Amino acid sequence: RLATDANQRLLWSWNSDAFGVGPANPDVDGDGIITDIPLRFPGQLYDAHSALHYNYFRDYDPETGRYVESDPIGLKGGLNTYGYAYQNPINNFDPDGRLVWFLGLGALGTGTTATAGTGFWATGALLGGAVLTSTISGSTPTDSSTTTEASPGSAAEKARERKEYSRICKSPIPPSGDQCIDARANLERLRQCLTLRENFSKKWFNDNDAGHITEINNTRKAIENLEDFLRRVCREECN
């Protein structure tokens, strides 16, 4: 995987094995100027703090060739809910952590729509023997008018903030055995999640990224459902 400037001068490269193990070279031409590009597999961004690849709904670990979180669509994505691209990244890819695509053909394995807040895929760049380039809403923004300029400092800050909201939003409260206690605990978690998501969306995307707006709306709906449950079943008023 290569990156060039406007004059087609090579600035950056990433040579990895089939599962993405291998460091990028940010100074291919040796001029001492670092070109930091976090792109990895389609839909993935490298997080230097965790050494994981942010894949929108999940985080991918190239060292193990699997995700660190279970598939959010459950067994609809296959029996191995931690596997990446059916363990065949030469021919397949997963643009958002939920849906495997076959290079050159399209989606595999589920009836899930591939356009649900995940952007689009179009031809353009050579990858693994197939023509492909990826644009994922919320993970590979291309419009500088709607995002903060990606300086090394801001990129690290953005990665830290994304990791923090992901930690809260993707970590359900362990069940206690009492459905009302569990509902209250998860309601508090989702409220924290919503605040972090809203702050992240406003700060880094000026509330103009469709993927993040979708997740914010989904979180609001989940909060409403829990509040309704607490009123109906637990006879509690939610503030």
DSSP string, 152-173: HHHHHHHHHHHHHHHHHHT-PP
Range list of H helices, 99-178: 152-169
Q: Which of 47-61, 104-118, 216-230 has the lowest mean pLDDT?
A: 104-118
Contacts for 20 with CB less than 8 Å, ≥ 6 apart = 40, 41, 44, 53, 60, 62, 65, 89
Coil vs helix vs strand at 14: strand
pLDDT at 132: 33
Tell me phi and psi for residue 145, to 5 degrees: -75, -15
CA torsion angle 46 48 52 56 (round to 10): -50
Tell how strand 58-61 and strand 10-14 pair up. Answer: unpaired
Q: Return the exposure string of 62-86: e unless at least 16 CB atoms fall within 10 Å of the residue's CB, then b.
A: beebbbebebebeeebbeebbbbbb
Distance (Å, whole) CA 21 – CA 62: 5
pLDDT at 173: 74
Q: Whole-model pTM?
A: 0.47
Cα–Cα distance list, 32 to 2, 35, 101, 149, 239 (Å): 18, 10, 38, 21, 56
Contact of 160 with 49, CB cutoff 8 Å: yes
Distance (Å, whole) CA 81 – CA 72: 8
> Among 198, 186, 197, which Cα is nearest to 223's?
186
Query: Across the beta sheet with 106-108, what order do the strands follow?
Result: 92-93, 100-102, 106-108
> What tens digit of pLDDT does each residue of 54-79 get?
888 889 999 999 999 988 877 777 78
> What tens digit of pLDDT does each residue of 112-149 get?
333 333 333 332 333 333 333 333 333 333 333 344 44
Q: At residue 112, what is the residue type?
A: T
> Among 93, 98, 95, which Cα is nearest to 128's?
93
Higher pLDDT, 48 or 65: 65
